[in-house]
Each structure stands twice: as structure tokens, then as C-alpha cells.
Chain A
Amino acid sequence: MKTLATIYKEFLLLVRDPGGLALIFIMPLALVIVMALVQDAPFRDYQEIKLDVLFVDQDGDSLSAKVKQAFDASPNVNLVVKTDTAEVKQLVRSGAFKAAIVIPANSSETLREKTRQLIVKVFSNFGLTEAPKDSLDIAAIGIKILFDPAIKSNYKQTLTGGVQKIVASIQAEWILDELQNQLSEGRTDVKKTPVNLTEIIQVNEQYASEKKYEGLMLNSVQHNVPAWTMFAMFFILYPLAGNFIKEREEGSMLRLRLISGSQFPVISGKFAFYFMVCLLQFILMIAVGIYIMPLLGLSKLVLGTNILGILLVACSVAMAATGYGVLIGVYFRTPQQALSFGSVSVVILSAIGGVWVPVYVMPEILQTLSRFSPMSWGLEAFNDLFLRQASIQSILPNVLRLTGFSLVALFISVIIHKSRTIL
């Protein structure tokens, strides 16, 4: 009952503190939206996204079929088939598409002929067959790859390299095929081995950036929503510690100590209330990720499937944040000290915890440091859950770290509080 009364009292105090409310609800919303928008482009750069590539097939034979098949199977490239070369040139020049692959007519035939002649020539050099009468100088097959000048060089290399590999593998196939033909001439008992090198060599290049998150979609929304949620939750120290110190200064805390011997309901009520505020912030921020972000042209927040795990992490972050707020409120004597130290410390913890930029793009030293920030524990756990469908078991270490942090903070608070109040 006393705890409930305290929860209600804390509710009234917070509701009548528009500054505090704005700080813990409006500010994080603004931050998360702004940061998600700002970091949208950089995050796309970190990521491999599908590159739309125009494809003109004037060949209509096995070579173009193989190229198309290989790029269709690639996770990085999305082929858009066109027929008009002029139009394609125009599209790439205007920047609407970053690249185009044009396979000229008779490419397959040319390549096949070249290959055959090559083999024949080789065999004739060994004196196995008569030298061919027609010229070897068949024009290069001339596959064209058009690039928007603004394209990133790694995309360029991927595409060119990809096409070259396909052509080379097809050629290799045909060489083998032709070899078998030549060697088996006049011998029907030899069975031809079908060769398919394109299935072995695929256009599947990864972009250089990060290796750790390979295959994940850590986009701007996916990073910023949990990150700023964590920031927001830790920021409740502002109203929490602020009110705590105000109560001490205004004497109401003294009266409370007079009224009941035990301070437990007072502290537990505060803790419970701000714990719930944290969860409310969490729900709000997640809702922004799911419903508001798509409206801004960003991707929708993906939560993964382990809802229980998410709740567990949210609760442990809320505990850590509330415990931290209580500690700040107990330790500092004036609101100014508490709030300036509190907010600066939260900003620092969030910076090294990977809220502003993901930990994996930080320098080595900071990455080591970040292991000491409760925010990185929370963030890591959320990423594990959202992106990797982690099991409860695998997030448990971080959950325990957060809970432990909270308990230690509370324990120290109680000791300090006692040592200061009984004179």
C-alpha cells in the first residue's frame, strides 16, 4: 500500500513536471527520428544492398543465358531486362541506374567459334589434326558494361569481375567440351562428361566493410531505435535524481523518514515507478520504429521472434537505468551537480556503448572500452534478438550484467543513503 501510494505520488510529480516529461519522452523521440534519418545513407554504405543493373540480351543464346542466370542467383545484383540499347545508355547516363550489361548479338556463337578454333589450333600444333584454313582472328566478343560515373568502385569491380568470371567459366566449359569432342573423334564408346562451371563460380562478392554482421540487415532504423531507446531509458535519471534531491532539499524526505522507520516503501515505490516509465519509453520507441519510421521512408523496425527475450532485455535495461538514476540522486547533494554529471555520464556511456555509431565501426580501443558500458550490453542483446533471433540463453549474460549493474548501484545507494541520513 505504501509502495503503491509512492508510485502514485511519483506519477503526480512527473506529470506536473513538463520539462521532465519532455526530456524523457519527446527528446528521445526526436533524437531517434533525426538520427535514423541522418544515418540512413551511411548505413546503406555499410551494408550490401542490391544493385539494380540493366541487362540487354541481344545474343539470346547460351552465353547471355548463363550471365543472366549467374546474376539472378547473386544476392547483390538485381537484373532489370531491357531490349533497347539507346534507352539503356540514357538510363545509365541520367543516373537512374548505376550500371548496365549489354551482351551483343552472336556473342555465344563468336565465343564458341573462338574456342573451337583455339582447340583446333592447339591440336594442330601437336600435329594431331590439319591446320584450319580460316582465320583465327575473330573479333573479341565485346560484352559492354556501362557505368554511371558516380558508381562506387567496389560495385564496378564486382560487376566487371563477375562478368569476366562468367565468360571465363563458360569458355572453360566449352574448351573442355571441345577437347572431349576432339579426343573422342571416331570413338563412340567414350561418354562425354557434361561440364558446368558456372554453378561452381558464382557472382557472389561481398563488399569490403564489416565482416561480423555479414548477412544481417543492420540498417539505420534497426540500429537507432534500440540505441536511442537505451539512451532515453538512462536519461530518466534526470527526473528521478532531480526529484530525489528536491525532496531532500524541500524536507519532504525528512518527513518521510519521520513517518516510517523503514525507507523501503519510499525507495521501492520510486524504483517501481521509474522502472515502469522506462518500459513505457521502450514501448513508445519500438512503436516509433514500427509505425513512424516507414512513414519517413525508412525501413520498418524488425523485432525478430523472441518476444520473451525482448521483454527480458527491456526489463533488465530498465532496472539498470533506474538503479543508476537512484545512485546519482543519492550521491549528489545538489540538483545541478547530479544533473550535469548525470547527463554527461549518460552521453559518454552511450557514446562508448555504441548508441551514436555502432560499436563495430569504432576504433579498437573504444571497442574494448565499450564492453564496460551498460548500454552496449543492452544494445548487443537487442541486436542479437532483433537480427539473429537469439535464444534466451545467448542473451542471458548481457541480461545478468545489466541486472547485476542495477543491484550494485542500488546497494551502493542504500549504503550512502544510510550513512548520510543517520547523523
Chain B
Amino acid sequence: MSTSAVHLIDLTKQYPQSTKPAVSNLTLHIPEGAVYGLLGPNGAGKSTTVMMLCGLMRPDAGTVNVLGMDMETQSVEIRKKIGVASQDIALFPTLTAYENLFYFGRMYGMSGSMIRQQIDKYLHVFGLTEKSKKIVHTFSGGMKRRLNLMAALLHQPKLVILDEPTAGVDVQSRNMILDFLMLLKSEGTTIIYSSHVLEEAERICSHLGVIDEGKLITEGTLVDIMNTHSDCQSLEQLFLKLTGKNIRD
């Protein structure tokens, strides 16, 4: 087995206001170069896991190891090498697309010429070149999503963590994003991809981890998991089999 990009061991997190843990004793193993689909119904604990994975939240128990470094002691180093696009759009609405990206580039500590080069590249990839001087506030949901993703990629991270990057975008934007993720993968970037859109996961993921109610249900390569449950025709059937049909909160 290849070396792991991310290793989560026995992670537990309970929000102060809630009665049961959002994540409990979760152990995940994400190989380098994988596109890892972190799947689970609403409230399963995906976002909470992602937050701990990128050091925004401190687990109550357990360890987070990213790119061979421990989050407790080397969070600053880790942050330089990871790119995170959160579930919620995280942009300055009154700045233009370009100004947003440039500022974030600066905050990554990049040089001006490097930032410009990267911005031009991604604006082109995501079809936003013509909108670069427009105020973000005027963008459609899909455009904001793409820009939000770009902001996570500027500094060429080795590990990209995407929490529902295709939420609320149309088919065209979604295809554009998924194609780009495949391109990233081909360049050797590890991608953690949290979603409940199962066709997307089926299309791009090499590995899966399914969680529900904060616990790991199953983990492995997409092929292995599908083979173990050969009675399921699609990932969706498999997902329902594993997590049940009850509506979650």
C-alpha cells in the first residue's frame, strides 16, 4: 500500500451544545495520490472531519496526521501544503474576482508574479477570465463556487480538501470542476472530496470512506467496495444499503 497523505486515528469531536459526538472514534486512511470520496448523509460528520483535518478545529481525542506531519505540533507547515475549499463560500463579496485571488495569494506568502501567473491559469481553466474584474457579489452561485475552489488551489497544494465543491452548481460548471479534479489527480495531487452526490463520487473517486453518525461504515478503493457488495448495481444502492433509508437531520 502506498504511503498515506492523511491518517486520522480515533478522532472524536463533540460540539459543546450537543448531546452526542459529531465524530466518534473515526479512523481514516487516505493514500497519497488518491481521490478520496468522503461520503455520508446529512449530519454524518463530514464537515466536522474536514475541519479537524485542516486544523480549524481541535479534536477532543485522537490524532491528525497530514503529509507525514502531526497537526498538534506542525499545523503551520501543514497549512502551507494543503488547499481547502469549504462547504460555505469564503470570499470577499465586494472585491472583484481578481482582487480576492490576489489577496489570498499574498496571504499564502506568494510573490506577485507567481500570483498573477496562477490566477491567469485558473481563470482560464474555470472560464472566468472575462469576469475577473467583476465584483464577486454579482456572480452566480456557480461562478462563486469556481472562484472559491480557485482560491484553494492558488498555492499549488499537495493535498486538496473539498467539502461539497459542486453544491448548487449547474451541469456545465460541475463538469468543468470534475474534469479539473481529474487533471489535478493526474498531476499527483491527493484530493479529499466530500459529497453526497454519488454519481460524482463514482465518476472520479479512486477511494471511498463512508461515514454515518460520526462513525466509519466502510473504507477502501471504489473497486474493492463495489466488489464486496456485488448485489448493488450502483454506488447509490450501496450507499442506501450501508446507511439505511431514514431521513437525517
Which A residues fall within an 8 A CB radius of B?
1-2, 5-6, 8-9, 12-13, 16-17, 247, 250-252, 254-262, 265-266, 422-423
In the bound complex, CA of A255 to CA of B147 (Å): 13
Which partner residue on chain A sits nearest B106 by CB separation? Answer: A5
| Pair B95/A2 contact, Cβ less than 8 Å | no
| Pair B79/A251 contact, Cβ less than 8 Å | no
| Pair A258/B54 contact, Cβ less than 8 Å | yes
Supposing A255-B90, A258-B84 touch, asked if A5 and B107 sit within 8 A by C-beta, the answer is: yes
Central interface residue in A8, A251, A265, by most chain B CB within 10 Å? A251
In the bound complex, CA of A265 to CA of B91 (Å): 18
| Pair B92/A252 contact, Cβ less than 8 Å | yes
The residue that B90 contacts in the complex, of A5, A6, A250, with Cβ under 8 A, is A250
- B134, CB-defined interface residue at 8 Å: no
- B126, CB-defined interface residue at 8 Å: no
Beyond A2-B106, A258-B86: 19 further Cβ-contacts under 8 Å?
Answer: A5-B106, A6-B107, A9-B95, A12-B95, A13-B92, A13-B94, A16-B94, A254-B86, A255-B90, A256-B107, A258-B55, A258-B79, A258-B84, A259-B107, A260-B109, A262-B76, A266-B107, A423-B51, A423-B56
In the bound complex, CA of A103 to CA of B106 (Å): 84
Taken residue by residue from 70 to 86, chain B's Cβ proximity to chain A (1 for < 8 Å, 0 otherwise) reads as: 00000110010000101
| Pair A261/B79 contact, Cβ less than 8 Å | yes
| Pair B75/A252 contact, Cβ less than 8 Å | no
In the bound complex, CA of A232 to CA of B151 (Å): 36
In the bound complex, CA of A170 to CA of B186 (Å): 111
Q: Report the minimal beta-carbon distance from B65 to chain A, rounded to whole angstroms.
A: 17
In the bound complex, CA of A145 to CA of B63 (Å): 97
- B57, CB-defined interface residue at 8 Å: yes
In the bound complex, CA of A260 to CA of B75 (Å): 9
Determine chain B's interface SS by DSSP, over half rule. loop
| Pair B92/A250 contact, Cβ less than 8 Å | yes
- B139, CB-defined interface residue at 8 Å: no
Q: Which residues of A contact B79 (CB under 8 A)?
A: 258-261
Q: Can you list the 3 inter-chain pairs with the closest CB atoms, starting with the nearest?
A: A251-B90, A5-B106, A261-B76
In the bound complex, CA of A422 to CA of B60 (Å): 12
Q: Which residues of B contact A16 (CB under 8 A)?
A: 94-95, 135
| Pair A9/B76 contact, Cβ less than 8 Å | no
- B170, CB-defined interface residue at 8 Å: no
Q: Which residues of B contact A8 (CB under 8 A)?
A: 103
Q: Which residues of A contact B92 (CB under 8 A)?
A: 9, 13, 247, 250, 252
- B204, CB-defined interface residue at 8 Å: no
| Pair B104/A255 contact, Cβ less than 8 Å | yes
The residue that B107 contacts in the complex, of A17, A251, A265, with Cβ under 8 A, is A265
Q: Report the minimal beta-carbon distance from B102 to chain A, rounded to whole angstroms.
A: 8
Q: Which residues of B contact A2 (CB under 8 A)?
A: 106-107, 109
In the bound complex, CA of A252 to CA of B76 (Å): 18
| Pair B103/A5 contact, Cβ less than 8 Å | yes
16 A–B contacts, CB within 8 A, in A order: A5-B103, A5-B107, A12-B95, A16-B94, A16-B95, A250-B89, A251-B86, A252-B90, A252-B91, A256-B107, A260-B76, A260-B108, A261-B75, A261-B79, A262-B76, A422-B58
- B88, CB-defined interface residue at 8 Å: yes
| Pair B88/A259 contact, Cβ less than 8 Å | no
| Pair A250/B54 contact, Cβ less than 8 Å | no
In the bound complex, CA of A260 to CA of B77 (Å): 9
| Pair B89/A251 contact, Cβ less than 8 Å | yes
- B99, CB-defined interface residue at 8 Å: yes
In the bound complex, CA of A13 to CA of B135 (Å): 11
In the bound complex, CA of A138 to CA of B70 (Å): 113
